[in-house]
Structure 1
């Protein structure tokens, strides 16, 4: 049936947003379910597992398994909350963030993550790299839109936890063969080319937007990377530095903003006029 024959006015933006929300309510949980099943099967059932392959083929960005595992669990928990928020959201601002901010990006990223897990398990390195790159594009687009047009606010804490938090993970890497510890310096410049721009972007977001989610998410990923040893010096130094700098920048930016707002709020009174005695 063509849209013109439907008994509703599809030209009404409210109707289009409502249909888009319903579409997300169906597609997002489905894509998340496919994602988590694929990761569980490839991470626990198929041998070698995703973790085993990371140890066999380490790279300059290989993270510490337990830390990245904790991070992934947090992401999955927040995605469950995100799916619930799609159904339970009542505020117009939250619905706009879901439909126009994140949109279909999470759905695409979940499917790409599931396909990446399969490709990685079958050691299809080129395919897995392409899928990971596409996932980065999808998540980067969502992050840019969220930061520019749907800035997180403490007035809607659930939006921060369930929308902005899951949209902050970006990972990319190269590998060298069979875990040879003498090869840990391979691709160190490529690794630096990944971690440095991402951390600079995170630093800009922290300073300009006071983005707590991005700050602690990026710091956690940095810590997960440098804690997995051995690590090439450029990657190790960069991740350690930004692990410290990001929280400090958040505190400094918050304090500076608070002091500036207080200064603007002070009303400058004119100086008292001197009273000259009349002659």
Structure 2
């Protein structure tokens, strides 16, 4: 009776998963395409564009536009593969992973499109609110993908390339620069004209240091080299955009040092634990042999 109930529950869960995936196969690519279209229109199709407004409202956290543009081009290119997996995935583990992305993925694209529209309309308070929602949504999505049952394997390399890679990159750029830049502009923490340049340096350092601490913790605990590389790129984009206060540039340089050190620390800790477990296993085997011979 219990086996029948468990089998029935499994069948129901599988049916619900397939129904959800059927819906996502329609709305997930549509949301990604809409977000891409709005991003392209607001970035290069109209004037002033996103980068123009970014330059007009310059802060201590304004990144180099060309480097951020390259980052987003790669990110959207990877998400074309994400949409392909939504539509064409046949492996059951991949389908379950796409269901984990689910409506949160659709929400991420909807929020990003609305943010771009608000930015063009110069509704910076609403844009900052949307970025806050986006950061929470992507952070939760990243945590869900870190669960063991959704981890990518060698038999499913596309899961890593088209799911884990873009979600991590999107989470990093949102936490590291997008949300803080939107908040600074909404709060009128501008660096121009010249007499304003000396203001808000402490706030800028804190806004950079907090996501850096989070990034270092993620790299140290998870050994996430994708997070490390993406965060270092974002910090470089901030460092190369001049002028910046010395303290802000110092945080960027510190990030370039700390993030690789955290990855090295993760590798060293992993090897130490593996060695300890191996020695413990050898001792147990020796004790068993001694007890048997005794």
Q: Is the TM-score greater than 0.5?
A: yes
Ranges in structure 1 where 5+ consecutive residues have no aligned partner: 1-8, 274-279
Return the offset for 1:80.
Answer: 0.5
Tell me how far 1:259 sits from its aligned partner.
4.3
Secondary structure (helix, strand or coil) at the match of 2:199 reads coil
| Equivalence for 2:6 | none
- Taking structure 1 as reference, are residues 203 and 177 closer, same or farther at Cα in structure 2, changes over 3 Å only? closer
| Secondary structure in 1 matching 2:59 | coil
Partner of 2:124: 125
1:185–1:231: 8 Å Cα contact kept in structure 2? no
Closer, same or farther: CA 119–10 of 1 in aligned 2, 3 Å: farther
User: What secondary structure does 1:104 align onto?
Assistant: helix
Q: What's the offset of the Cα at 1:186?
A: 3.4
- Matching residue of 1:26: 26
CA distance in 2 between partners of 1:37 and 1:209 (Å): 34
- Specify the SS of the correspondent of 2:146: helix
Cα distance in structure 1, aligned partners of 2:70 and 2:39: 14
- Aligned pair in 2 of structure 1 residues 15, 154: CA closer, same or farther (>3 Å)? closer
Q: Hey, what does 1:180 align to over in structure 2?
A: 193
RMSD: 2.6
Show structure 2 runs of 5+ residues with no match: 1-8
Are 1:79 and 1:162, in contact at CA under 8 Å, matched by a contact in 2? yes
Cα contact 2:78–2:162 (8 A) shared by 1: yes
SS at match of 1:119: helix
- Give aligned pairs, total: 263
Higher helix proportion: 2
Normalising by structure 2, we get a TM-score of 0.80
For 1:192 and 1:177, the matched residues in 2 are separated by 14
Say if 2:213 is the partner of 1:200: yes
Q: What corresponds to 1:63 in structure 2?
A: 63
Aligned to 1:139: 138
Cα pair 2:60 2:191 within 8 Å, conserved: no
Match of 1:39 in 2: 39
Q: TM-score, normalised by structure 1?
A: 0.84
Alignment partners' CA distance in 2, 1:183 and 1:157: 49
Distance 2:203 2:151 in 1: 32
* Residue matched to 1:114: 113
**Distance across 1 between alignment mates of 2:197 and 2:158:** 41
What are the Cα deviations for residues 235-263 of structure 1, in whole angstroms up to 9, with x where unaligned?
Answer: 32222211221122213312431343244
Paired residues of 1:210 and 1:254 also in contact (CA < 8 A)? yes
Structure 1 residues 198, 147: closer, same or farther in 2, change over 3 A? farther
Deviations 1:137-178 (A, max 9, x none): 211211122224556445343222211222233121213458
